[in-house]
Amino acid sequence: MDINPSSLDFTGYTPTWCAGCGNWGIGKGIELALKKQQLSPDRVIMLFDIGCSGNMNDFINAYAMHTLHGRALATAVGVKIANHKLPVLVTGGDGALYGEGGNHFLHACRGNHDLTVIVHDNSVYGLTTGQVSPTASKGKKSRSTPSGIIEQPVNPLLLALTQGATFVAQGFTAQLPQLAELITAGMQHKGLSIINVLQPCVTFNKENTYAYYIKNTYKLPEDHDKSNFSQALEQAQSVFKERFPLGILYETTRPTYQDELPQLASEALAERGRFEKSVSLLDNFK
Ligand code: SF4
């Protein structure tokens, strides 16, 4: 098959994202990662959740599905079982993946489904004009919490680590080269990859701005050992002090959900011819 990486460019439709939105950097990071891996559009599938991030569905030139709210991960699990040879990317906001889809997040981690999950973490529901989402800081005021949010924020890195994700990383949309590398590494990892991306919403979140993240992010130390779970936990806890590590916190190997299904050992379900199968079933009655 001829590979034409240039056909992975955004298709020419004008995205509806606000000027300066962090989603632009994430879209570009995905595009760079696909090009780096020489993946033609028919060799990847992307699942989008509802939210501003989901608008990418309209202008990235690859197989894609725009799912119900909170259900991108669950749909991705089905897609991967149907054709486990396809790389499957999932994107959604912190609301969709840690809130409405939080149950699917937990079970995708424990099952080690072979998916790459990119979380647009902006601490608000941007598409519905700025209500607080799961990673919003305690006390944050918004249209939905005029007196301040009561709950503690979700810590995405700790959540992924403790529930069994086998690749856990964090990027910042303004650090594009590193972000593209993290997405590439996540796609090459066999098992569930979680890449939490700090993504300023310039319209509805005036606290978690570019300046805020430039001040409060840091590169993981040179001697950080990504195979060391305790070190990863320690780095993940720095989020409680408003310090955000960037890089691969943790990577390990264990059999994926698909590895444990004997039905997938010979070929992908999608590659099995229905006609041939029917004929061979009929042969049993001769
Ligand atoms: Fe981006 Fe926020 Fe605008 Fe949505 S509302 S496109 S998240 S800046």
Q: Is the CB of 172 under 6 A from ligand 1?
A: no
**Yes or no: domain 16-283 corresponds to CATH 3.10.20.30:** no
- Adjacent-strand bridge partners of 124: 132
Q: Is the CB of 237 under 6 A from ligand 1?
A: no
pLDDT tens digits along 93-105: 999 999 999 999 9
How far CA 191 is from CA of 72, 176, 230, 253, in Å, comes to: 17, 24, 20, 7
pLDDT tens digits along 207-262: 999 999 999 999 999 999 999 999 999 999 999 999 999 999 999 999 999 999 99
Work out the average pLDDT over 106-112.
97
pLDDT tens digits along 33-58: 998 999 877 789 999 999 999 988 88
Task: Write the residue with the smallest CA distance to atom 2 of ligand 1.
Answer: 201
Q: Using the predicted structure, report yes or no on whether residue 5 has a pLDDT greater than 60.
A: no
Best of 204, 205, 206, 209 for a ligand 1 pocket test (most atoms within 8 Å of beta carbon) = 204
pTM, 2 dp: 0.92
* 3-class secondary-structure state, position 188: helix
Q: Is the CB of 106 under 6 A from ligand 1?
A: no
Q: What's the pLDDT at 6? A: 46
Q: What's the pLDDT at 198? A: 98
Cα separation, 172 vs 178, in Å, equals 8
Decide: 38 and 44 in contact? Cβ < 8 Å: no
Q: Is the CB of 201 under 6 A from ligand 1?
A: yes
Buried b (16+ CB within 10 A) or exposed e, 58-93: eebbbebebbebbbbbbbbbebbbeebebbbbbbbb
Q: What's the pLDDT at 113? A: 98
CA of 188 to the centre of ligand 1 (A): 29
pLDDT tens digits along 168-179: 999 999 999 999
Work out the average pLDDT over 14-37.
91
> How many of the other CB atoms lie within 10 Å of CB of 187?
23
Q: Which of 4-8, 94-98, 139-143 has the highest mean pLDDT?
A: 94-98
